[in-house]
Amino acid sequence: MLRSNLALFALPLLIACGGNGGTDSPEVTADTTATEAFQWEADRFADVQVLRYRIPGWDQLSLQQKELAYYLTQAGLAGRDIMWDQNHRHNLKVRRMLEKVIKDYPGERSGADWEHFMTYAKEVFFANGIHHHYGNQKFTPEFPRAYLEDVMAASGASLPAEVVDLLFDPELDAKKVSLAADADLVQASAVNFYGPGLTQAEVEAYYSAIERPDDPKPLSYGINSQVVKQDGQVLEKVWKVGGMYDAALREVVKWLEKAQGVAENPQQAKAIGLLIAYYNTGDLKTWDDFNVAWVEDTTSTVDFIHGFVEVYNDPLGKKGSYESIVEVTDPEATRNMQVIQKNAQWFEDHSPLMDAHKKENVVGITYRFINTVGESGDASPSTPIGVNLPNANWIRAEHGSKSVSLGNIVDAYDNSRGSSTLEVFCHDEEEIARAKEHSTLAGKLHTALHEVVGHASGRLEPGIGQPDQTLKNYASTLEEGRADLVALYFILDPKLVELGVMPSLETGKAEYDGYIRNGMLVQLRRLKLGDEIEEAHMRNRAWVSRWVYEQGMADSVIVKVERDGNTYYDIRDYDKLRVLFGDLLREVQRIKSQGDFEAGKALVEGYGVKVDPELHAQVLKRAESITSAPYAGFIQPDLVPVTDANGTITDVKVEYPADFVEQMLSYGERYSTLPDDN
């Protein structure tokens, strides 16, 4: 899925995009003075801030629409265990141990060890597992092993010795996803998409025997299965009713059937029926049929994303993480930005791509601002702020795509965000002032351009396989960077002022400032000293920023400034920078269109991976004064049905829980559908 996440004063994106198209989750600081008395911040621990969001307009929905949203939300939560198991084979055991200790430990709940235990538990809850949700590194307990064994024994909880070893040995399953160029990516990644003993070469050979590069409508091979080796044979365990994850998917289907019964229109009912059929059979052709039907439902107020969608947690870019987002259209905000959708062909025609790589007919793009009602799986607690689906290139070309911006999520970020990052990393007061005035709109425009225009743009040359086949482990970061470059190229185009979506080119300049500042400096605060960049979106921001900086050095397009021992990057020529963004966009589209693996590898490895240790240490030191956390996520609202004496739903109320751990414990009790081992 193409996805955007809010990051550091820029709003990220989502589509077959996972993570942060334009940016990722923004840095936020508590601000209780923002709008009414709603408490936006709920918790803070480690490098995370937990927020809450509201659902505007809920009371204006009909009972049928509320009921539909409730059933879809329950369907999403019913599959929550799947995401945990996908992230690591022992995650469910660890989560249930943590839940048991927190609920039943009779001893002293204070002191350093208990505080460290609770921080560790929150980190695991937030990440849906024992590895960081974004950085992929395994969490390190800051309490002794003996303490864990004591609290488990006192609580009646337990873990196999091998799992306890795993938690405390930094060398075991150190990375959920490894993208290191010199590694066997299957064996170096702890994610549970591949069984023990498999190698990257074996997995690639398995799919090479199935896939046909010349297929005009290729199936999404591998999107819904675990690959294992049994009796020396490589095979797939399909995620379906009657297959792997049977118990969870039966519960998902139960709620989807209820949702189908209150669908807003026949087209939506058809789409939900196809999704049910897909979960019952695991058939990939049915998955395509569902995506076509879902794209063609353009009138429903209540909509949803549900399935094995994002491939960013798979080092080979094939396996979809379980995800659910339930959403309600915001008609007024949608009208204000829909002009971008209506001009999609203009953007394609005026892009700097080679003519052979442009789409002659951009079809079926639907763009809406929505308010999120409920999220689960890979979308929660950490959420995207924009999404563009489906991922299949041929469906996008023939039937179109849906792009959404998650308006109430962005609002929650805005209402809880401080400006401390600006004071630390901006070059001068002019840059700070421009960011304060224009960054909110700039981020929304970047998200819209990234999702609506970026992911929908370009085409493959005849006979070229899909990016996961040709570009392999570089496909995700190259696609995210390509969509970012589309947004960056057009956000400084006078056409946007002409269309009335931004007041002046100062908005585009603010986005250029923020993007370069983030890619060159700010995002490094998310890494530990000595780490390289591995996450796909961080890589794309790095290779885009560093490439244009290097290419523009002779003309002083971006100047590196050293002042008082600190490094800043000052854009001196915005017009020339736009030209460089266009040059890089043309090349990245060529790489994708021609399946040029070596060129893609050279770009990413040359500009997007290595970190200057001196600059990194400086960034970490400067970041100590920033009050906001590097990452943010959300407690979900609770949809509570109101029933009459006969059990008939007469209303659905929204409640806004305030305690992150309590919600995690409640979810563990209400939506625990899978056994420890699957």
DSSP string, 232-285: TEEEEEEBSTTSBTHHHHHHHHHHHHHHHHT-SSHHHHHHHHHHHHHHHH--HH
How many CB atoms sit inside 10 A of residue 140's CB?
A: 10
pLDDT of residue 456: 85
Contact at 8 Å (CB) between 353 and 457? yes
Contact at 8 Å (CB) between 365 and 419? no
Find, among 640, 629, 630, 657, the residue nearest to 52 by Cα. 657
Find, among 481, 483, 508, the residue nearest to 600 by Cα. 481
pLDDT of residue 229: 96
pLDDT of residue 23: 35
Contact at 8 Å (CB) between 329 and 303? yes
pLDDT of residue 48: 95
pLDDT of residue 496: 96
- Give CA angle at 466 (463, 470), nearest 5°: 90
User: Average pLDDT per run of 10 along the chain, which is 678 residues long?
Assistant: 43 36 36 59 95 96 98 98 98 98 97 98 98 95 98 98 98 95 95 96 96 92 97 96 98 98 98 98 98 96 96 95 97 82 93 95 85 97 92 91 91 78 93 94 91 90 92 94 97 96 96 97 93 92 98 98 96 98 98 97 97 96 88 97 96 97 98 97
User: Residue 325 CA to chain centroid, in angstroms?
Assistant: 12
Q: How far apart are CA 369 and CA 350, in angstroms?
A: 25
Cα atoms found within 13 Å of the Cα of residue 461, Cβ hemisphere only? 14
Q: How far apart are CA 538 and CA 528, in angstroms?
A: 14
Category of 31 on φ-ψ map: left (φ > 0), alpha (ψ -120 to 50) or beta:
beta
Find, among 210, 237, 213, 209, the residue nearest to 221 by Cα. 210
Find, among 601, 451, 585, 610, the residue nearest to 527 by Cα. 610
Instruction: Output the CA torsion sign for 358, 359, 360, 362.
Output: negative
- The reported pTM is 0.89
Find, among 622, 660, 657, 625, the residue nearest to 638 by Cα. 657
User: At 505, which helix (H) or strand (E)?
Assistant: none
Cα atoms found within 13 Å of the Cα of residue 651, Cβ hemisphere only? 7
pLDDT of residue 561: 97
**Residue 35 corresponds to which tokens in the numbers above?**
């709008």
Q: How far apart are CA 297 and CA 269, in angstroms?
A: 10
Could you state, in order of their start, the residue ranges of all structural domains in the chain?
2-41+330-623, 81-168
User: At 441, which helix (H) or strand (E)?
Assistant: helix 429-448
Q: How far apart are CA 537 and CA 480, in angstroms?
A: 7
pLDDT of residue 3: 52
Q: How many residues does the chain have?
A: 678
**Residue 45 corresponds to which tokens in the numbers above?**
């621990």
Q: How far apart are CA 417 and CA 626, in angstroms?
A: 12
pLDDT of residue 664: 98
Contact at 8 Å (CB) between 185 and 203? no
- 386-389 sheet: strands from edge to edge: 14-15, 2-4, 386-389, 401-406, 365-377, 321-329, 302-310
Find, among 50, 150, 137, 42, the residue nearest to 88 by Cα. 137
- 161-168 helix and 91-104 helix, angle to the nearest 10 degrees: 90
Contact at 8 Å (CB) between 386 and 26? no
Q: How far apart are CA 16 and CA 453, in angstroms?
A: 13
Contact at 8 Å (CB) between 321 and 470? no
Q: How far apart are CA 309 and CA 307, in angstroms?
A: 5
SS3 568: strand
pLDDT of residue 36: 54
Tell me 522's DSSP state: G
Which residue reads 């017009």 in tokens?
A: 575
